[in-house]
């Protein structure tokens, strides 16, 4: 059973990393846009 759980755990970890990467990229882009907009 442990050998069968490893691939599923790896898939969940990769999925989490991809979601976190997308969210971090979006947040960074939003912060950069706001900084440029509020710059005098």
Find the domain containing 7 and state its range: 1-40
Q: How many residues are recorded in the chain? A: 40
> Span 12-31, mean pLDDT?
82
Q: Residue 7's pLDDT band (boundaries 50, 70, 90)?
A: low
Q: Does position 12 have pLDDT exceeding 60, yes or no? A: yes
Please report, for residues 4, 12, 37, the alpha-carbon distance to residue 1 in angstroms, rounded to integers and kept in the order given.
5, 17, 54
Q: Max alpha carbon distance in the chain (Å)?
A: 61
The C-alpha atoms of residue 35 and residue 9 are separated, in whole angstroms, by 39
Please give the structure tokens belonging to residue 24: 């971090």
More confident residue, 23 or 2: 23
In the chain, how many domains are there?
Answer: 1
pTM of the model: 0.50
């Amino acid at each position: 059973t442990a050998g069968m759980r490893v691939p599923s755990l790896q898939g969940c970890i990769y999925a989490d990393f991809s979601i976190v990467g997308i969210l971090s990229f979006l947040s960074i882009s939003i912060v950069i846009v706001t900084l440029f907009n509020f710059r005098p």
